[in-house]
Each structure stands twice: as structure tokens, then as C-alpha cells.
Amino acid sequence: MEVSFKKISEREFERKQSTPILFYDKLYSRCFGVIESKASDYRFGWQSDLLDPIIKKVDENIYAIGIDQNFAVVDFAQKRVLLNLSLFYNFHTVHSLNGYVFICTELEVLVINKLTFETVQSITLPDFFEKLVFEDEKIKVVCVGQLVVELKI
């Protein structure tokens, strides 16, 4: 099942009353969108008008959505939100590998079990996140200044 993302106006966001909200802040949300599949739709709002949400497939019918300090995982076939987090730091990217979901923020990486969608580990970074590198059995977080943190799972 494929999903599509579409930016919408605030007025359209408010009109879609029957569509569940993933995340939204009445005071700060300036941008609005909807993520749609054949089975279900979800709407959300965010603050950063220079950024679009990152949407990645995590598993069959399961997608992750992240923007600003918001992150959610949705099973579109089951019409269920599996995980909905308010992050401490701004979201950067998400990766899925070997039964885990890696949520990368500015100064933290959260490791989520892909079966239970519970947080397994939270790693505080020594500097701002730059990239996640998968080498054989090792997972490395590269930070600004080439500082490297190796994840042990």
C-alpha cells in the first residue's frame, strides 16, 4: 500500500473534521498536510514553513512521519497510530533496520522496537546530528565535527 502526502490550507485542515489528527498545535502550527492511503487518512500541522515532513515506509502498510518536534508511526491497513511522540529536539530523519526504527533528532537518537513500537534506547549526542551510517553489524552516528557515537543494540 502506498501513501501520498499533500499540503493543505488551514481552512481545509479545519474542514476535515472526520480525519484523525496525528499532531497539531493550535498556537504554533502554520503549515498543514494530510497523508492519504486507500485505507485511511491522517491530518497534521507543523510550525516550520521552510521544511516538509519526512515520510518513510517502515514496514508493509506502516509509515513514519516526522517534522519539527513531532514523530508518528501509522499502520494504514489497521487504521492505527502505533507511536506518537513529542520529541525533545527537532526531527532530522528516520531509518528502519533489523527490527528497529532509528529516530534521529538534532541531539538524540531514539531506538524503537519495530514489533512493539516501544523505546529500547535513547542516545544523547555530543554534538548536532549529521548522519547515520550502517557498516556491517555496526551502527554509527556521525555528529558535526566528525564526532562518532557507536550504537550498541
In the chain, where are the structural domains located? Answer: 1-86, 97-153
| Residue (of 46, 97, 103, 52) closest to 73 by Cα position | 103
Taking only the tens place, the pLDDT of each residue in 11-66 is 999 999 999 999 999 999 999 999 999 989 999 999 998 999 999 999 989 999 99
CATH class assigned to 97-153 = mainly beta
Banded model confidence at residue 151, pLDDT cuts 50, 70, 90 = confident
- The reported pTM is 0.93
Q: Is the pLDDT of residue 153 over 90?
A: no
β-partners of residue 71 are 66, 85
The pLDDT score that the predictor gives to residue 39 is: 87
Taking only the tens place, the pLDDT of each residue in 98-147 is 899 999 999 999 999 999 999 999 999 999 999 999 988 789 999 998 89
The pLDDT score that the predictor gives to residue 82 is: 97
Spell out the residues 6+ positions from residue 143 whose beta carbon is closer than 8 angstroms to its own: 125, 126, 127, 128, 129, 130, 149
The pLDDT score that the predictor gives to residue 105 is: 98
The pLDDT score that the predictor gives to residue 44 is: 97
The pLDDT score that the predictor gives to residue 152 is: 78
**To which residue does cell 508511526 refer?**
73
Cβ atoms within 10 Å of 146's Cβ, excluding its own: 8
Rounded to an integer, what distance in angstroms lies between the CA atom of residue 146 and that of residue 31? Answer: 34
